[in-house]
């Protein structure tokens, strides 16, 4: 028979385990090596932003924020976090991942099957597009462009490939770490021949080889939480500046954007680095 004292101990243990699992470090099946990151710089980030997509272009930060009735995309100053341009979406759309293609910004929405195209300079609305293939009722989560094709995540282990001109579905990649599929793939960034992916509700970034579909490494960003407010949500948001090789990460309702470095070379580096 359990005493009241034992019941309280069990309840306390369950609460502790639940809290620990809320932001897990690595999937229990992880086979690829784990790498630590080092913070190079910290920048202000609006904690009201529920980050869904992130990228850098011409020194400016592009970011989308989700939520029904509160979704938007902004262009912000990197150093200050101040929004210099903003487009707000109709209440029926939940904004998700964003990516640049030529002089346009493409953005997904979560459940609608509809994405939108904006001008890159002022976020002027241009047109919409359908992102679902005929076979699968895909959700829109993360989006990136690898120089030839769009890559889309939907919270599963599958990454869908799309033609950038008409967004036609052209293929898919199922991501593995060893023999296990890697689920909950979220925000994406293409970095020097690799796909970097946030894992929903985990403080790690998967480094994916698109040719083998294997995770070749995990970046542990859990230590960043020591520098964040307690209200900060899940890690979500990766931006890579090709010209300098700088890598930035943030999350939903984080009050900071971090520039980080990894000592081990995990992807192809830029040809020239600005000093």
How many distinct helices (H) and strands (E) make up the chain? 1, 23
With tokens 């002022």, the residue in question is 122
On whether residue 150 sits in a domain, the answer given is yes
Parent domain of 157: 31-261
On whether residue 273 sits in a domain, the answer given is no
On whether residue 134 sits in a domain, the answer given is yes
Supply the CATH number for residue 128's domain.
2.120.10.30
Does position 21 have pLDDT exceeding 70, yes or no? no
> pTM of the prediction?
0.89
110-155 pLDDT per residue, tens: 999 999 999 999 999 999 999 986 656 789 999 999 999 999 999 9
57-67 pLDDT per residue, tens: 999 999 999 99
Residue 98 tokens read as 């964003």
Distance CA(250)–CA(64), nearest Å, equals 12
Band of pLDDT at residue 11, cut at 50, 70 and 90: very low
On whether residue 100 sits in a domain, the answer given is yes
Would strands 214-220 and 34-36 be described as parallel, antiparallel, or unpaired? parallel
Residue 65 bridge partners (DSSP): 51, 72
On whether residue 174 sits in a domain, the answer given is yes
Percent residues over pLDDT 90 in the chain: 84
């Amino acid at each position: 028979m359990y005493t009241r004292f034992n019941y309280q101990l069990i309840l306390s243990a369950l609460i502790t385990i639940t809290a620990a699992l809320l932001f897990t470090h690595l999937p229990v099946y992880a086979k690829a090596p784990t790498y630590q990151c080092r913070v190079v710089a910290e920048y202000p980030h609006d904690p009201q932003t529920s980050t869904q997509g992130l990228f850098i272009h011409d020194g400016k930060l592009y970011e989308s924020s989700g939520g029904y009735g509160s979704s938007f995309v902004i262009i912000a100053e990197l150093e200050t976090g101040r929004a210099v341009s903003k487009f707000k979406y109709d209440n029926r759309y939940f904004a998700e991942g964003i990516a640049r293609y030529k002089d346009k910004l493409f953005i997904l929405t979560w459940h609608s099957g509809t994405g939108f195209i904006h001008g890159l300079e002022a976020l002027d609305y241009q047109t919409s597009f359908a992102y679902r293939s005929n076979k699968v009722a895909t959700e829109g989560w993360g989006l990136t462009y690898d120089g030839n094709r769009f890559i889309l995540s939907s919270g599963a282990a599958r990454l869908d490939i799309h033609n950038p001109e008409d967004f036609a579905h052209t293929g898919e990649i199922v991501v593995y770490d060893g023999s296990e599929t890697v689920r909950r793939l979220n925000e994406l960034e293409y970095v020097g021949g690799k796909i970097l992916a946030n894992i929903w509700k985990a403080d790690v970034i998967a480094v994916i080889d698109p040719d083998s579909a294997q995770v070749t490494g995990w970046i542990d960003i859990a230590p960043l939480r020591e520098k964040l407010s307690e209200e900060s949500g899940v890690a979500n948001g990766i931006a890579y500046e090709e010209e300098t090789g700088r890598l930035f990460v943030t999350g939903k309702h984080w009050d900071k954007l971090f520039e980080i470095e990894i000592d081990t070379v995990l992807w192809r580096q830029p040809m020239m680095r600005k000093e």
